[in-house]
Amino acid sequence: MTDLTRRSLLAAASAAAFIPAGAAFAFAGKAPPPAKLTPATDTAFGISLTDPYRWMEAKEKDPDWEPYMKAHNAYARSVFDAIPGRDALAKRVGELTGEMAATRSLAIAGPWVFIYERPVGANSFRLVVREGMTGTDRVLIDPNTEKQDGVHISLDWWKPSDDGKHLVYGISKAGSEDSVIHVMETASGKVSDLRIPRAQYASPAWLPDGSGFIYNQLGREGLPPSDPTYFLRSRCLLHRLGTDPKTDTPVLGQGLQADLAVQDQEFPTVVLFPGSDWALGLLIPGVAPETEVWTTKVSDLATGKPKWSLLFKRDACVTSMAVNGDDAYLLTFKDAPRYKVVKTSLKAPDVAKAKVVVPQGQRVVQGIYWATDGLYVIDMDGGIGRVRLLGKDGKLGDIAMPIEGTVTPIFADPRQEGLFIATQNYVSPVSIYRISGGKAVDTKLTAPAPFDLSGFRQTRMTATARDGTKVPLTVLHRPDAKKSGDNVVLLDAYGSYGINSDPYFSPRLLPFVEQGGMLVTVHARGGGEYGREWHLGGQKATKANTWRDVIDSAEFLIKEGWTKPGKISVEGTSAGGIMAVNCMTERPDLWAVIFDRVGSSNPYRMSFTPGGPANFDEFGDPNTEAGFKALAGMDGYYRVKDGVKYPAMLATAGMTDPRVPPWQAAKISERTRVASSSGKPVLLRVEFEAGHGIGSTRKQADDEYADAFAFIFWQSGDARYAVKG
């Protein structure tokens, strides 16, 4: 008998001595301190929004902030530690994630193959290099063995020069994503003394001869990352190896060319394509998919004096490009909500008359990549990833995929044949294939799961939303799962930015299913599963469709007999927090737990954070009537009402989070705790050496989900996890 099984049986045998989930919560630990009230009201366009906890936004300036967060985290920790079965669940999560190696990406440059991997038992991903695909690995950067100022570091991004001789990469501390540029010599592993700060979105582009690179640098020197203007007025600079970065030459940004206007919130980015004489200058408007693009000769760019010419503005609706010499292939949703690919010449561009080479079809085209054998086209086919090849003969054909699941392009080079992809789904671990000769061939860079996966199944279902829209669901469950009102269900959804909720493999999720839980991904509107129209169906004024798709999916599962109210929880991460909080305020009777994971819980006030302006295209500009009303309409924080029986809540935050500041979780948890009449627990869990999760260690993520899963089982009435009175 395993320790997990033994603990579960002991918990079930003595269930009568425990507090049932529906009872008033009276934990014996020290109660968290109440937050002080500092009401502030924002009024515009006939709408008033009153915020009782505005003081939290001051963060470092308020002496009560850090003690408040520490006290609430300590209280949450004491509750998690009191849940029977939580430790055994955490042990099982750690066993599964620790037993499995993971490979996330690769790049080929010169004789070198660079591989971003996490070895068995390691806490973080590291970068290794080998000569050729079968060479011996040598470690270049290992955050598992390095720290700065006593805290863990993360390798945020990396890129080798075209010849592979040098590597530029970004390092940040404690998951902050506040990258500092470093440069390494690949052959020797020697790291230069170069350090360039404020490189969170550096997106480096090497010059063809490897003598230097262009990078984006944020804002102005001396600003703290919490300053509302921190992300504004970034620019691209050219750095020559061996020179002082103070002498780096600005090549794209505000005030550099009279006819090239760069908005404060735009992120200038320079892209070079091996084998092409042309460089692209992208003015990325934040989270919006369409981009304005300019061109210049690489030779002019290398002198630090580019002559930028407009290729197209945002109204061309181009979201991605592939370049082969003078030919540019553009992925656009102009008059094609499921996207099409058009071709023009960079020598004499005319986007209005560009030739359609891949017309719009039933599939959603989501990416294009050029290799010597043609243009690779990445499709979304009703939730399943597909790949097509447009050959040099103009024929478009499908490439058979090894599994039905997610397809992620990870490397292509216009000078090399083929495309490297990663495939996965909820029951199939990541595998890396090279597509060449019309076939997907296993690279053997990934190992099969070292544990039995026969106890898990992935199933597709379809719910019908209240307006008749068909909403796809992907379900992870045990083979013996049966329709029953006793099933504990966790719904997860995102529904923003046109980003897909792709099925992915994570050993971290499996223990929840082993214990009888069902994990359901709702492919809600606001995502990109069905193209531009699906995205716009859950954006700004239509944002309510996102959370109502989730509510209606819960109702579908209840109607079909899979579960019942009080047995369903909902998880929303980052922008998914908008969905989760509104699910709570609109239908508090449905849920066991609202798992608001580093969530945007107060989106109106998010508009005034450093990342706010970049999100105006997605959620609304508060300075306009339409934008203000859209934000007010999706902000569930202001709709929390006193005296309502709200479900239990687990809100999580990272103290170094640059994307969603930790006061978002603090405000929604405090407001819900004070307002709710259900007596159910509302917990605020804080990671003090982590941010948005991107740079978190394996152990940090394991512990977070062990806490969440144990809390969900308890609040769903599972006697094995009930807390003693």
* Total Cβ atoms within 10 A of residue 303: 11
Q: Are 670 and 646 contacting, i.e. CB atoms less than 8 angstroms apart? A: no
Residue 480 reports pLDDT greater than 70? yes
Which CATH superfamily does the domain covering 317-448 fall into? Prolyl oligopeptidase, N-terminal domain (2.130.10.120)
Q: Are 580 and 572 contacting, i.e. CB atoms less than 8 angstroms apart? A: yes
Residues of CATH 3.40.50.1820 domain(s) within the chain? 69-96+451-721
Task: Specify the CATH number for 69-96+451-721; select among 2.40.50.140, 3.40.50.1820, 3.30.479.30, 3.40.50.300.
Answer: 3.40.50.1820
If pLDDT is split at 50, 70 and 90, which confidence band does 56 have?
A: very high
The token pair at 438 is 């019309």
Q: What are phi and psi of 651, to 5 degrees?
A: -105, 135
Q: Are 664 and 633 contacting, i.e. CB atoms less than 8 angstroms apart? A: no
If pLDDT is split at 50, 70 and 90, which confidence band does 382 have?
A: confident
Residues of CATH 2.130.10.120 domain(s) within the chain? 317-448
Burial class (CB in 10 A: 0-12, 13-18, 19+), 256: middle
CA distances from 698 to 175, 290, 325, 721 (A): 12, 34, 42, 24
pTM recorded for the entire structure: 0.94
Q: Which pLDDT score is estimated for 31?
A: 78
Q: Which pLDDT score is estimated for 90?
A: 97
Helix, strand, or coil (residue 274): coil
Residue 19 reports pLDDT greater than 60? no
Q: Which pLDDT score is estimated for 10?
A: 27
Q: Which pLDDT score is estimated for 378?
A: 98
Classify each residue of 344-372 as buried b or exposed e, where b means 16 or more C-beta atoms within 10 Å of its C-beta.
Answer: bebeebebeebeebbebeebbbbbbbbbe
Q: Are 404 and 457 contacting, i.e. CB atoms less than 8 angstroms apart? A: no
The predicted model gives 547-573 an average pLDDT of 98
Q: Give the model confidence (pLDDT) of 613-631 as tens digits.
A: 999 999 999 999 999 999 9
Q: How many residues does the chain have?
A: 725
Q: Which pLDDT score is estimated for 482?
A: 97
The token pair at 395 is 């024929």
Q: Are 57 and 228 contacting, i.e. CB atoms less than 8 angstroms apart? A: no
* Total Cβ atoms within 10 A of residue 224: 10
Alpha-carbon distance of 415 to 323, in angstroms, equals 11
